[in-house]
Amino acid sequence: MKIDAIYLRELNLPLLRPFQTSFGTTKDRRVVLAEIHSEGLIGWGECTAGEHPHFSEESVDSCWNVIVDELGPTLAASRVENGGQVPRIFGLVRGNRMAKATLENAIWDLEAQMKDMSLSRLLGGVRDVIPCGVSIGIQTSIAELIALIEREVAAGYQRIKLKCKPGWDVEVFERVRHRFPAITLSCDANSAYRLKDADHLATFDGFDLLMVEQPLWYDDFYYHSMLQKRLDTAICLDESIRNRRDALAAIEMESCRIINIKLGRVGGFSEAVAVHNAAYERGVPVWCGGMLESGIGRAHNIALSSLANFSLPGDVSASSRYWAEDIIEPEVTVSAQGEISISDAPGRGFEVRTDLVDRLTVRKTEIRAHALVN
Ligand code: OSB
Ligand code: MG
């Protein structure tokens, strides 16, 4: 594919409700989008980095700089033919996986359009519908949380994930379980605990949780493996899994029994499929995580979730839970059964509302090829 232009832009997108995790609160999203023009088509990619380097080392600004200074010019000068080649094109740049995914995913989006097939099929997806869950942030009161859960259960979501941290855990689980004895429930600590909290974490076993997500350090396998031996509840790793090798190490060490796959965290579709396949071959189920994405990242998460081993409900939910207006058409909707349908339209399956994107844009730059050195 001949790349005619790469544009990078930043949008300001206010969340309908603030989202609180153990590491902080997000009110307004700064969404970076890449737009790659080729052969009369446009591939879109969304950067999933946070406003601050709290979930991972990357942030909106680090991604912007790495894309503008390194990845964008390298990609523009390359002879890329498909998404699968992009990791090698970016091979000299270490880390910066969310930045890389922004561009790689736009190339996959383009490739699917050029091949006149859905992104889901191009990736090897086999599902017509995907099971959906929701991630509910830390609230100011348990009563408030219970009201939110009521609404999401009534909407049909198949799994409720509660963000937790010391002081917002067992009492919350107790009250929620009392009110909802039969729902599928999980929790996500975003690394808020330490191994000395193992006895406390073991009391989570009393609440029939589907999993406890990333209880310990964001970069750890070893201590999660020690902890897993002391829990009946499955550990799910999110932050720790950066690539296929990490997934293999975590599975071999029994650091987790479930893996959360996020496109940005692993560096794009190529590595996400590799993590999926490695887990599938070893009987470890996966699900698709979310990073408060706008419609473009959401569409990409939906396509990824159609792969066979995404057997657990993901954190991929309706646009209307996040935004007054999403930047895609149609918006993402979830059925009363808690499912999203996979589109068989070519590409991502959702049109980008370019007028709205332009209106929300706070900065935009064109990235040009620079001469390839070495
Ligand atoms: O750990 O899954 C996480 C949001 C921001 C950063 C990290 C996480 C999350 C979520 C939200 O849980 C999932 C979503 O609804 O997009
Ligand atoms: Mg998580």
Identified catalytic residue from 100, 161, 165, 262? 262
Euclidean distance between CA atoms 215 and 229, whole angstroms: 14
Asked if residue 126 is part of any domain, the answer here is yes
Structure tokens that stand for 17 in this block: 């409700």
pLDDT in tens, 219-271: 999 999 999 999 999 999 999 999 999 999 999 999 999 999 999 999 999 99
In a 13 Å sphere around the CA of 21, the CA atoms on its Cβ side amount to: 19
- 130 forms beta bridges with 340
CATH number of the domain that residue 89 is part of:
3.30.390.10
pLDDT in tens, 154-195: 999 999 999 999 999 999 999 999 999 999 999 999 999 999
Nearest to 348 by CA among 332, 335, 361: 332
With beta carbons less than 8 A apart as the criterion, state whether 345 and 120 touch: no
Q: Which residue has the least CA distance to atom 1 on ligand 1?
A: 190
Atom in ligand 1 nearest the alpha carbon of residue 322? 15
Q: Are residues 280 and 319 in the same domain?
A: yes
Identified catalytic residue from 163, 165, 196, 364? 163
What's the gap in Å between 319 CA and the centre of ligand 1? 14
Domain count, the chain: 2
pLDDT of residue 368: 86
Asked if residue 372 is part of any domain, the answer here is no
Residue 292 CA: which ligand is closest? 1
**pTM assigned to the model:** 0.97
Q: Are residues 140 and 159 in the same domain?
A: yes
115 catalytic residue (yes or no): no
Helix, strand, coil: what percent of the chain each, to 5?
Answer: 35, 25, 40
Asked if residue 163 is part of any domain, the answer here is yes
Q: Are residues 200 and 293 in the same domain?
A: yes
Q: Are residues 34 and 100 in the same domain?
A: yes
262 catalytic residue (yes or no): yes
pLDDT of residue 227: 98
Q: Which residue has the least CA distance to atom 7 on ligand 1?
A: 291
Q: Which residue has the least CA distance to atom 12 on ligand 1?
A: 135
Q: What is the mean pLDDT of each run of 10 residues along the chain (374 residues)?
A: 96 97 96 97 98 97 98 96 98 98 98 98 98 98 98 98 98 98 98 98 98 98 98 98 98 98 98 98 98 98 98 98 98 98 95 98 92 50
In a 13 Å sphere around the CA of 174, the CA atoms on its Cβ side amount to: 6
Q: Are residues 162 and 240 in the same domain?
A: yes
Asked if residue 373 is part of any domain, the answer here is no
Helix or strand run (H / E) with residue 72 = helix 72-76
Residue 162: give the domain boundaries.
Answer: 121-351
Q: Are residues 65 and 157 in the same domain?
A: no
Q: Are residues 105 and 188 in the same domain?
A: no
Nearest to 192 by CA among 183, 204, 182: 204
Structure tokens that stand for 202 in this block: 């073991």
With beta carbons less than 8 A apart as the criterion, state whether 241 and 250 touch: yes
**Burial of 47: CB neighbours in 10 Å, binned 0-12, 13-18, 19+:** buried
pLDDT of residue 374: 42
Cβ neighbour number for residue 317 with a 10 Å cutoff = 24
Asked if residue 374 is part of any domain, the answer here is no
Q: Are residues 332 and 360 in the same domain?
A: no
What's the gap in Å between 191 CA and the centre of ligand 2? 9
Q: Are residues 110 and 194 in the same domain?
A: no
Residue 152 CA: which ligand is closest? 1
What's the gap in Å between 292 CA and the centre of ligand 1? 6
CATH number of the domain that residue 311 is part of:
3.20.20.120
* Backbone angles phi and psi of 95, in degrees to 5: 60, -145
Asked if residue 262 is part of any domain, the answer here is yes
Asked if residue 274 is part of any domain, the answer here is yes
Asked if residue 32 is part of any domain, the answer here is yes
Ligand 1 site, CB within 6 A: 21, 55, 135, 188, 190, 238, 289-292, 315
Euclidean distance between CA atoms 331 and 323, whole angstroms: 10
In a 13 Å sphere around the CA of 200, the CA atoms on its Cβ side amount to: 16
Q: Are residues 91 and 144 in the same domain?
A: no
Of 16, 21, 211, 265, the residue with max ligand 1 atoms within 8 A of its CB, to mutate for a pocket test, comes to: 21
Q: Are residues 26 and 52 in the same domain?
A: yes
Atom in ligand 1 nearest the alpha carbon of residue 26? 5
pLDDT of residue 369: 83
What's the gap in Å between 291 CA and the centre of ligand 1? 5
Nearest to 231 by CA among 202, 208, 191: 202
Cβ density class 66-93: b for 16+ within 10 Å, e for less: bbbebbbbbbbbbebebbbbbbebbeee
Q: Are residues 209 and 308 in the same domain?
A: yes
